[in-house]
Amino acid sequence: MAKKTIMLVCSAGMSTSLLVTSMQKSATVNDIDADIFAVSASEANHYLENKKIDVLLLGPQVRFMKADFEKRLGPMGIPSDIINMADYGMMNGEKVLQQALNLIENK
């Protein structure tokens, strides 16, 4: 399987760093080649313009931005969704990684 690039977006880029670590551990355990990183909402456009992204997941605190991201990402063929609040709160990297991979597979 080709390397997957998963971008998480939150309000400041900080709160998702623990989730990124958990997702990376799950990817390693499951032998999934993935580049997983978190950015603040204000940095998202820069990364979308300069890096090939396979999927974008929004933290629950920026769920209100979903429609805006869908408009921008649709023409690029990049799927997006909101991270489940319970999975986010529990820092369940395995479930969030699976959510990202499912979005990539079903695009």
Catalytic residues: 10
For residue 104, the tally of other CB atoms under 10 A from its CB is 15
Chain position carrying tokens 């300069």: 50
Torsion over CA: 44, 45, 49, 52 (sign): positive
